[in-house]
Homo-oligomer: A and B are copies of this chain.
Amino acid sequence: MMQRIANLLVIKDNHVLLLKKPRRGWYVAPGGKMDPGESIYDAAVREFTEETGTTPIDPHLKGVYTMMIKDQADEVVIDEWMLYTFVARDLEGVPFKTTREGELGWHPIENLHTLPMAEGDRTNLLFAVSETGLQYGTFYYTEQFKLLKEKIQKSVEGVNRNDGK
């Protein structure tokens, strides 16, 4: 079955809550795999709560991404999954500091530009913290998570690009 991953970025007091994964030292928004029959919303809330010990307030979807893993030569598709990225502007509780998944911590929003992470994640998280509306797209990575290419679309509810004509 194709994996579906939901993650959730909490933005509060100009900081974001990120998980530093031990393997590469890369930062991610807390999240994980959807269960069968789960909605993307319930999955994002459940995974965030399990990983942080806190409850996100009013999460809202900011991005839906098709993730492709290809060989180095960019020819053979090795894996494909869906990623759903939510944002919340508040949470209840005090986050864990260390978990089995890695180290949790608050980081200034602007550090999303420089902290080590998958390049597609940087694109997604910067959109989520700074832009209105939704982002869609496909990211192509190697098995070593080097970004091969990305293709992005965006939309904002009620905004019609013909309105200005």
Q: What are the interface flags for A1-45 relative to B under an 8 Å C-beta threshold, 1 for contact and 0 otherwise? A: 110100000000000000000000000000000101111111000
A36: B residues at CB distance < 8 A:
68, 77, 80
In whole angstroms, how far apart are the Cα atoms of A24 and B64 in the complex?
32
- A77's closest neighbor in chain B, by CB? B36
A59: B residues at CB distance < 8 A:
155
User: What is the copy number of this chain in the assembly?
Assistant: 2
Please give the distance in Å from A82's CB to the nearest CB on chain B: 7
Interface residue range, chain A? 35 or more
Contact of A160 among B2, B58, B64, B77 (CB under 8 A): B58
Would you call B82 and A65 a contact (CB within 8 A)? Answer: no
A161: B residues at CB distance < 8 A:
57-58
- Stretch binding the partner chain, chosen from A46-54, A103-111, A118-126, A132-140: A132-140
For residues 51 through 96 of chain A, which have their beta carbon under 8 Å from a beta carbon of chain B? 57-61, 64-66, 68, 77, 80, 82, 84, 89-90
A151 at the interface (CB under 8 A from B): yes
Contact of A151 among B1, B39, B61, B134 (CB under 8 A): B39
Would you call A89 and B160 a contact (CB within 8 A)? Answer: yes
A153 at the interface (CB under 8 A from B): yes
Would you call B138 and A37 a contact (CB within 8 A)? Answer: yes
Contact of A153 among B42, B138, B155 (CB under 8 A): B42
In whole angstroms, how far apart are the Cα atoms of A110 and B111 in the complex?
49
**9 closest Cβ contacts across the A-B interface?**
A41-B136, A2-B2, A60-B155, A41-B153, A39-B136, A39-B138, A58-B160, A39-B137, A60-B157
